[in-house]
């Protein structure tokens, strides 16, 4: 993994000495040894030396865009909290659409202002913790939200430019003013121009998008549960999750802005319900632009995030790795949860050192530490030098028929040429219903299971499935689900807290100020004892078998070949467990049904799943995947939500 680039210019704070205070505690020397012999090298760390009330102000930055069509360019509001010092400081930025509509963090904090409109309450702990340590924090209202002008365009140019323009202003390349309209021009002489962007969900998505522009001055991003492609948030290989970007735009605009009706119309026109990829979606796909990224990336994602699904992390990480972008990752067992709420003390410490290195240029060794940390069991983490998803080998496994129709084996050996299976699409069912009773056939799915594994088998990365399917009607949706059959204790990611419980106690992180509390309610892991776990899933519209940009007519009875993606995984299937593959129709927990659900026949000889197995085919053989088997022991059901919730903002948009 490459080393991290130093900031563009050394901040003056480093020269004053105040932030070079060392926090490592010297070890006691052995009797008779020189006093310095047993002392470890101290780790440089920024210290909370700025105790005065921060400067709090708002600057309205001109984006150069006219999203609301009023004939003047839009200004976005950048609320700033910065130390009282003459030395220039780096910036930690969170650009968000949620500062007035929906809130940030586990406690849904909103921005607050005094009677004269000056910012007082800054959501999250960033200003409380980092401003005393010599950083400035800038919370940006995206265009069309809170106090910003313009219109929300959900991942488009307006969103990305909202934050990019502020970075340009911090570096003297854009204009800022002391009022939303008119006003005097103001500069950012207090800033070094070096910026680190951070944020969960929509906010982290903006960080990804801005990094993909290659804007000068952005030194690092910390995307948490973030989107890399808006298509894959609302659609998947031709199918729809049932929600649309115009609804989210209306929400973040606090119910909608009449002057933004034309923008919402363009969103609706560019996001057809049939799931085709259009120019609107292409514009909102940051993955192809990973080559532009010059910032380091510290990504965090929940492996059980059913909101911003793991494909968002996996495809972004793969693109970053292909371009040798400096990177680090935490993967948790939670759902859509911030690391502040599942690994708080370690998170604050790691984030502190990350920003010290990326924005202050401190040689604290974080770039030489393990680049990946993965939660294997609740609160049990495993570190590795680099994420194994980069080296796992695509390995083909094949569904083969069994003695009972609808139940078969999963093996490294292909199925016979005449092998067939079938299912009838029942949109009332979903992956949780399909995964239950694996020893019993169901007309709604075809299930293929391996023999009990002889050794642990790790999947790490993004897989895919190729099918040869013949529908009985002119429309067909497909789902594929990977299941680990065997007992385990895991985070209860399907519970209300998606793997955490909020407690009554509080802990404080930084300095509290009047109107801006640094204390947050503690959390703990919630767990569930299960007999199976869904490891990965994927969905597709068979009508898009030739192209995701254009549906092709399906002729009932004719076979069609299609390959579609499975969600990114990092999961160890223990020895003694079985690996299951389910192929079915409409997954009622996630996707919409086709116009005419019907029967689908599978040519098993033309069907295979490609899995990212650490150790490749050799590991698969050692685990016993060359020995087909059918049937598994009965299992207790994993709890399932009635419908998934799309809640980028902490509110709910039922999909």
383 with 401, same domain?
no
CA diameter of the chain: 88
End position of a domain, from candidates 387, 404, 425 = 387
* CATH code where residue 397 lies: 2.60.120.260
| Active-site hit among 201, 229, 475, 567 | 201
Percent of the chain predicted with pLDDT > 70:
89
Position 231 pLDDT exceeds 90: yes
The helix/strand/coil state of 381 is: strand
Percent of the chain predicted with pLDDT > 90:
88
- In this prediction, residue 526 carries a pLDDT of 98
Position 470 pLDDT exceeds 70: yes
- Cα separation, 639 vs 496, in Å, equals 11
| Active-site hit among 301, 336, 545, 571 | 336
- Banded model confidence at residue 546, pLDDT cuts 50, 70, 90: very high
335 with 208, same domain?
yes
Q: Is 336 among the catalytic positions? A: yes
Q: What is the arithmetic mean of pLDDT over 468-492? A: 98
Residue range 494-522, pLDDT digits in tens: 999 999 999 999 999 999 999 999 999 99
Q: Is 158 among the catalytic positions? A: no
The helix/strand/coil state of 222 is: strand
Q: Is 560 among the catalytic positions? A: no
348 falls within a domain: yes
361 with 319, same domain?
yes
601 falls within a domain: yes
DSSP class of 116: T
Provide the 10 A C-beta neighbour count for residue 17. Answer: 9
- In this prediction, residue 25 carries a pLDDT of 30
End position of a domain, from candidates 387, 419, 434 = 387
> Containing domain of residue 336, as a range?
55-387
189 with 134, same domain?
yes
Average pLDDT, the chain: 91
- In this prediction, residue 209 carries a pLDDT of 98
- Cα separation, 539 vs 554, in Å, equals 17
- In this prediction, residue 1 carries a pLDDT of 52
- Cα separation, 359 vs 7, in Å, equals 6
CB-based contacts of 128: which residues, under 8 Å, 6+ apart?
122, 509, 510, 511, 512, 513, 516, 517, 518
203 with 253, same domain?
yes
- Banded model confidence at residue 649, pLDDT cuts 50, 70, 90: very low
The helix/strand/coil state of 310 is: coil
421 with 341, same domain?
no
> What long-range pairs does 344-349 form, CB within 8 A, spacing at least 24?
344/507, 344/509, 344/522, 344/523, 348/125, 348/129, 348/509
526 falls within a domain: no
510 falls within a domain: no
Cα torsion angle, 45, 50, 54, 59, sign = negative
CB-based contacts of 24: which residues, under 8 Å, 6+ apart?
40, 41, 42, 43
Q: What is the arithmetic mean of pLDDT over 428-451? A: 96
Q: Nearest to residue 480, comparing CAs of 403, 410, 527? A: 410
CB-based contacts of 429: which residues, under 8 Å, 6+ apart?
444, 445, 584, 586, 588
149 with 231, same domain?
yes
- Cα separation, 215 vs 292, in Å, equals 9
Q: What is the arithmetic mean of pLDDT over 629-653? A: 43
Side-chain-facing half-sphere of 189: CA atoms under 13 Å: 5
Residue range 584-635, pLDDT digits in tens: 999 999 999 999 999 999 999 999 999 999 999 999 999 999 876 544 444 4
CB-based contacts of 459: which residues, under 8 Å, 6+ apart?
392, 482, 535, 536, 569, 570, 571, 573, 611, 612, 613, 614
Extended beta strands in 325-392, E state: 327-332, 372-377, 380-384
- Cα separation, 531 vs 577, in Å, equals 10
End position of a domain, from candidates 387, 402, 430 = 387
75 with 166, same domain?
yes
357 with 449, same domain?
no
243 with 108, same domain?
yes
> Are the CB atoms for 387 and 460 separated by under 8 Å?
yes
556 falls within a domain: yes
- In this prediction, residue 142 carries a pLDDT of 98
> Are the CB atoms for 593 and 567 separated by under 8 Å?
no
214 falls within a domain: yes
* CATH code where residue 338 lies: 3.40.50.1820
Residue range 7-48, pLDDT digits in tens: 444 333 333 333 433 333 333 233 333 344 444 556 899 999
Domain count, the chain: 2
> Are the CB atoms for 619 and 459 separated by under 8 Å?
no
Residue range 168-214, pLDDT digits in tens: 999 999 999 999 999 999 999 999 999 999 999 999 999 999 999 99
Residue range 307-357, pLDDT digits in tens: 999 999 999 999 999 999 999 999 999 999 999 999 999 999 999 999 999
- Banded model confidence at residue 419, pLDDT cuts 50, 70, 90: very high
* Tokens 């996001």 -> residue: 271
CB-based contacts of 318: which residues, under 8 Å, 6+ apart?
389, 390, 461, 462
- Cα separation, 426 vs 305, in Å, equals 25
Q: What is the arithmetic mean of pLDDT over 239-246? A: 97
- Cα separation, 387 vs 528, in Å, equals 27
| Active-site hit among 285, 305, 367, 541 | 305
- In this prediction, residue 43 carries a pLDDT of 82
573 falls within a domain: yes
Q: Nearest to residue 140, comparing CAs of 162, 122, 121, 172? A: 162
- In this prediction, residue 626 carries a pLDDT of 85
Position 132 pLDDT exceeds 70: yes
- Banded model confidence at residue 3, pLDDT cuts 50, 70, 90: very low
20 falls within a domain: no
206 with 244, same domain?
yes
Who wins on pLDDT, 628 or 409?
Answer: 409
Antiparallel, parallel or unpaired: β 191-200 and 218-224: parallel
- Cα separation, 129 vs 508, in Å, equals 9
455 with 372, same domain?
no
């Amino acid at each position: 993994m490459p080393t991290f680039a130093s900031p563009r210019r050394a901040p003056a704070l480093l020269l004053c000495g105040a932030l070079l205070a060392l926090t490592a505690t010297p070890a006691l020397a052995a009797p008779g040894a020189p006093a310095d012999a047993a002392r470890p090298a101290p780790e440089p760390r920024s210290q909370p030396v700025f105790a005065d009330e921060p400067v709090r102000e708002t600057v309205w930055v001109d984006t150069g865009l006219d999203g609301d069509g009023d004939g003047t360019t839009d200004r976005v509001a950048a609320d700033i909290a910065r130390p009282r010092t003459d030395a220039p400081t780096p910036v930690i930025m969170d650009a968000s659409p949620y500062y007035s509509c929906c809130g940030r963090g586990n406690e849904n904090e909103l921005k607050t202002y005094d009677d004269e409109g000056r910012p007082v309450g800054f959501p999250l702990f960033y200003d409380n913790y980092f401003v005393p340590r010599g950083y400035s924090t800038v919370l940006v209202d995206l265009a069309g939200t809170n106090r910003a002008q313009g219109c929300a365009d959900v991942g488009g140019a307006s969103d990305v430019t909202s934050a990019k323009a502020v970075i340009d202003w911090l570096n003297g390349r854009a204009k800022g003013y002391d009022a939303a309209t008119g006003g005097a021009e103001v500069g950012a002489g207090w800033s070094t121009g070096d910026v680190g962007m951070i944020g969960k969900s929509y906010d982290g998505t903006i960080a990804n998008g801005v990094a993909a522009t290659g804007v000068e001055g952005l030194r690092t991003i910390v995307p948490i549960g973030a989107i890399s492609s808006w298509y894959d948030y609302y659609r998947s290989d031709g199918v729809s999750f049932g929600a649309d970007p115009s609804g989210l735009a209306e929400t973040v605009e606090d119910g909608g802005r009449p002057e933004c009706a034309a923008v919402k119309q363009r969103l609706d026109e560019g996001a057809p319900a049939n799931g085709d990829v259009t120019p609107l979606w292409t514009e909102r796909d940051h993955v192809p632009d990973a080559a532009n990224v010059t910032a380091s990336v510290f990504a965090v994602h929940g492996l059980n995030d059913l909101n911003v699904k793991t494909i968002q992390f996996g495809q972004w990480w793969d693109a970053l790795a292909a371009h040798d972008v400096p990177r680090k990752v935490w993967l948790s067992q939670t759902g859509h949860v911030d690391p502040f709420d599942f690994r708080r003390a370690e998170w604050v410490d790691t984030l502190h050192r990350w920003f010290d290195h990326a924005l202050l240029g401190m040689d604290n060794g974080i770039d030489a530490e393990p680049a990946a940390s993965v939660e294997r069991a609740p609160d049990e983490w495993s570190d590795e030098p680099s994420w194994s998803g980069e080296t796992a080998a695509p390995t083909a496994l094949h569904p083969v028929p069994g003695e009972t129709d609808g139940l078969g084996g999963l093996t490294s050996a292909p199925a016979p040429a005449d092998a067939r299976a079938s299912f009838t699409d029942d949109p009332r069912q979903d992956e949780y219903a399909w995964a239950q009773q694996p020893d019993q056939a169901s007309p709604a799915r075809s299930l293929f299971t391996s023999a009990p594994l002889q050794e642990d088998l790790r999947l790490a990365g993004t897989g895919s499935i190729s099918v040869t399917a013949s529908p009985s009607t002119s429309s067909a949706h497909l789902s594929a689900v990977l299941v680990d059959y065997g007992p385990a204790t895991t985070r209860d990611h399907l519970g209300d807290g998606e793997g955490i419980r909020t407690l009554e106690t509080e802990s404080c992180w930084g300095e509290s100020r009047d109107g801006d509390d640094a204390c947050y309610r503690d959390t703990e892991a919630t767990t569930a004892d299960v007999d199976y776990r869904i490891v990965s899933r994927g969905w597709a519209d068979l009508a898009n078998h030739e192209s995701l940009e254009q549906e092709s007519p399906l002729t009932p009875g004719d076979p069609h070949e299609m390959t579609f993606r499975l969600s990114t995984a990092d999961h160890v299937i223990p020895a003694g467990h079985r690996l299951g593959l389910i192929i079915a129709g409409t997954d009622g927990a996630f996707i919409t049904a086709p116009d005419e659900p019907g029967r689908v026949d599978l040519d098993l000889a033309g069907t295979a799943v490609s899995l990212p197995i650490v150790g490749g085919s050799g590991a698969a053989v050692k685990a016993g995947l060359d020995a087909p088997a059918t049937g598994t022991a009965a299992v207790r059901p994993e709890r399932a939500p009635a419908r998934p919730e799309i809640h980028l903002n902490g509110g709910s948009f039922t999909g």
